[in-house]
Structure 1
Amino acid sequence: MQKETQRVRILIVGSGVLGGDVLDLLAQSGEHYEITVGARRPESALLRVNLALYTAMNLGHTPHVTVVPMDLMNVEATAAEIEKLRPDIIFNATTLHSWWVITKLPKEAYERVDKARGGVWTPMHMVLIRRLMKAVRLAESNAIVVNASYPDVVNAALAAEGLAPAVGIGNIANAVPGVRLAAAYLLGRDPSSIDVRFFAHHYLSYRMPSTGTAAGAPYHLTVYADGMEVSPDDLDHETLFSHVAGRFRRIKGLAGQSVTASSATAMLHAVARRKGDVVHGPGPLGLVGGYPVRVAKNGFLVELPNGLTLDDAIDINHRCQRFDGIEAVDDDGTVHIVEESAEIMRETLGYSCTAFRPDECEDRAHELATRFAEYARRSGQADLTAT
């Protein structure tokens, strides 16, 4: 009798928009996973899990999925649950401020606060993953933690405390399919023959597919066709980016969340296999920004093209982060906000912060949440929940 392959145990923390979408994709993958969803409201999470089970079973899959109560603010209880579950992989899909929340504001109010860029919300992204990482360390777990909460910055800041997740998801990875499609179109190739190595911070991967330009933000892109490097002389990057935002423009916002969910799932598959797959992801090894990453049996390795050193790649992301409102992340984890972004937050929300340490993130997040709620009410937007 053939012995059953041991299941890879995956703990998904959070069952909101992203966590639910990733659950769907994992449940429908046919892979040998044992999935647990940890949620602060397990009754609601069970409804979402059952939806995933119904959908997967309609497609011929019978995944193993269970729900456990998990409040990340309670580090000791979370650690005890992790000890009990013994997950191989933990996927954090929680944050105190989802990226789409400000998009629910009236147009003028959204545009005013959006000018500050994404980095100003870092405290709210840091709180729950920091608590989760403390629980992982307390449980002495060997689980690989994959973080969805602004990993371009959060992973690097938490590294100073020995709390960095292994890698992040989305962001740079979300831009890769559009680049491959546009390159294939311009080169007259099949998209399956195109591969890329893309290095850039969240700002560029978020803005370029909408604007069609890097707008001066630093990046490095190497394109391959059938394994051979394509010269920039044969593939102008600005033309390439214009096609990403033109011919290959996609639905954005919550309706386009499947791109982030699928990039997260690709990372989780790679981590589960550990067979040397190269996937793009932000915040690997506690680094700032986004990189192509080889996921091997012994860990993660930044996949560098010819002519680019790791120091070069890190420098690109350090310079690119300023476009997202982050001046720097110090070796002690202190996050510095670009003055222009800080000033916008002072003017719009009455929130003043130019720098904060990881151990200050909870106080900063509480103040920021309070200020934002007041701003939303003044702007005439009271309901900021996803449907």
Structure 2
Amino acid sequence: MSERDVLIVGGGSLTRAVCYALATIGTAACTVTVVSRTGSNAAEVCYVANVRAALSTSRVRFRPVTVERYSAGTFGPILRELSPAIVLNCASHQSPWEGTHTPSAWTDLVRRRGFGFTLPLQAAIAVELSRVIATADAATQFLNACFPDAVNPVLKATGLPVLCGIGNVALLAATLQARLGLRDQAGLRVLGHHWHLHTPHRADHEAKVWLDGASVPGVTGLLAPQRSASRAELNIINGHVTALVLDALLSGREFLTSLPGFAGLPGGYPVRVRDGDIELCLPDTVTLEEAIALNQRWTALEGVQISEGGAVSLSTDDVHPVAEAPEIPDRLHVTDLPEVCRQMLQLRSRLRRQDAGREY
């Protein structure tokens, strides 16, 4: 297939949003292969996306592939066959929406421990996919959509490739562009985190924003409409921004935005996409060390910390462990994540059978 093709893993709502947007705004000719464990989902996504592309006279085409499971054994042959320019992972073992759609004792635990507690579940598929990419004889760019603020640092600490994440700070920047009435994000710089999808408890924990070099006040108010919107609606915006990033990478054009997990860094940063690659684009008044320190602090607020050496803590000064999950270690190494993921899946299965709000 073409050297500029895209492989998307996952058949959920984010994959749909990305494909539906790319079908209409894509300027580069490419084929997008959607890999899903549910064949009907992949087929439906590709059907709708192909119709949208035809109506938009786009040169982007979509095709479905069904697999029994997400694993290195299934990813390897597909990657060898396609040699895609870009792989986008939208699959994990834990939906961020579960607490809203199907609350249980499990979602109560995640709420108390912080979303960072689910890191092993978020990272498992991304690690397998990145490991296959690392062993392939191709210059494939890997983008991860699943909790990239924390998962991408895991990939970096494991020595695995990752270009960037999508969503989270990209959503903040898109909202701010609209709220500030900007034509584009050329003068906008946003440092933010998955943590900022919700209103921080303290004003000094808010995302940092600059416009044309000057700090922007009132960020909490500017982000209020986003924070009151449903996650399903926000995924439409995430999909659109992701499609713009993919098209810029494929076409080589310039596009300024903010993205999470760039080059395995924690949290999100302003970036410039150009010439088929991505580079940091920090404000002149902020050093990289300062930006990383801010994002590490925000990561800790979500109940997880990852060191460059690969040490992982699932409890922090801000979020303490609770007694109902003794089988899950508070401190581990990135190499322990597959086993901890298995333990966490067993714990989740047990707690999902218990109602939310119960003592257990």
- Look up the SS of the partner of 1:52 in the other structure: helix
CA drift at 1:116? 2.1
In the TM superposition, what whole-angstrom CA distance separates every residue of 1:53-99 from its partner, at most 9, and x where no partner exists? 23443455564222234466442442222121011111111111121
Does 2:234 match 1:256?
A: yes
Q: How does 1:180-199 map to 2 (within 5 A)?
A: 180-182=177-179, 184=180, 190-192=181-183, 195-199=187-191
Alignment counterpart, residue 372 of structure 1, candidates 333, 342, 348: 348
Matches within 5 A, 1:103-114: 103-106=100-103, 110=107, 113-114=110-111
Contact 2:117/2:314 (8 A) holds in 1: yes
Per-residue CA shift, 1:116-151, capped at 9, x if unaligned? 221110000111011101111222221111110111
Give, as a single letter, the amino acid of the residue that structure 1 aligns with 2:48.
L
Task: Figure out how many residues of one structure are paired with residues of the other and give that number.
Answer: 353
Amino acid aligned to 1:173: A
Alignment of 1:61-100 (within 5 A): 61=58, 63-70=60-67, 73-100=70-97
Deviation at 1:108, TM superposition (A): 9.1
Q: Distance in 1 between matches of 2:282 and 2:41?
A: 43
1:271 counterpart residue number: 249
Tell me how far apart the structure 1 counterparts of residues 254 and 52 of structure 2 sit (CA, whole Å).
31
Match of residue 10 from structure 2: 14
Q: Which amino acid aligns with 1:275?
A: R
Q: Distance in 1 between matches of 2:314 and 2:105?
A: 23
- Tell me, in whole angstroms, the C-alpha distance in 1 between the residues paired with 2:277 and 2:41: 35
Hey, what's the Cα distance between the residues in 1 that align with 2:46 and 2:177? 33
CA–CA distance in structure 2, aligned partners of residues 287 and 249 of structure 1: 24
Identity of matched residues, %:
22
| Corresponding position of 2:116 | 119
Unaligned runs of 5+ in 2: none
- Structure number with greater Rg is 1
2:209 matched residue in structure 1: 221
State the distance in 1 between where 2:68 and 2:242 align. 22
Query: 1: CA distance between counterparts of 2:77 and 2:159?
Result: 20
Pair 1:203-2:195 in alignment: yes
**1:337 is the counterpart of 2:314:** yes
Aligned with residue 32 of structure 2, among 26, 32, 35:
35
Which residue of 2 is the match for residue 320 of structure 1?
Answer: 298
Pick closer, same or farther for the CA change 1:279–1:177 going to 2, 3 Å. closer
Q: Contact (CA 8 Å) 2:37, 2:70: kept in 1 or not?
A: no
Say yes or no: does 1:160 pair with 2:157. Answer: yes
C-alpha change, 1:364 and 1:168, in structure 2 (3 Å) is: same
The TM-score with structure 1 as length reference comes to: 0.82
Distance in 2 between residues matched to 1:320 and 1:313, nearest whole Å: 11
* DSSP 3-state at the match of 2:204: coil
Residue in 2 aligned with 1:187? none
- Which whole-Å deviations, capped at 9, do the CAs of 1:128-178 have from their partners, x for residues lacking one? 011101111222221111110111111111112221311000111111133
Q: Deviations over 1:260-301 (max 9, x none)?
A: 212222221222233342221111111111001122337332
Runs of 4+ more than 6 Å apart? none
* Counterpart Cα distance in 2 of 1:214 and 1:178: 21
The whole-number CA distance in structure 2 between the counterparts of 1:193 and 1:97 is 33
Offset at residue 370 of structure 1 (A)? 2.4
How far is the alpha carbon of 1:202 from its aligned partner?
1.7
Structure 1 contact 88–144 (Cα < 8 Å) conserved: yes
Secondary structure of the residue that 2:257 maps to in structure 1? strand
Determine the structure 2 residue equivalent to 1:3: none
Matched, 1:145 2:142: yes
Aligned to 1:385: none
Partner of 1:289: 267
Which amino acid in structure 1 is aligned with residue 336 of structure 2? E
Task: Indicate the RMSD between aligned Cα atoms, in angstroms.
Answer: 2.8
Query: Residue 42 of structure 2 corresponds to which residue in structure 1?
Result: 45
- Separation in 2 of the partners of 1:245 and 1:319? 22
Q: Distance in 1 between matches of 2:165 and 2:126?
A: 11
Aligned letter for 2:307?
Answer: D
* Unaligned 5+ runs, structure 1: 1-5, 185-189, 382-387
In 2, the alpha carbon distance for the partners of 1:175 and 1:279 equals 10
Q: Does the 8 Å contact 2:167/2:260 carry over to 1?
A: yes
What corresponds to 2:128 in structure 1? 131
Q: How far does residue 325 in structure 1 lie from its aligned partner after superposition? A: 1.0
The CA distance in 1 between the partners of 2:94 and 2:148, in whole Å, is 14
- Other-structure match for 2:338: 362
| Distance (whole Å) between structure 2 residues aligned to residue 123 and residue 375 of structure 1 | 17
Q: 8 Å contact 1:37–1:65 — kept in the other structure?
A: yes
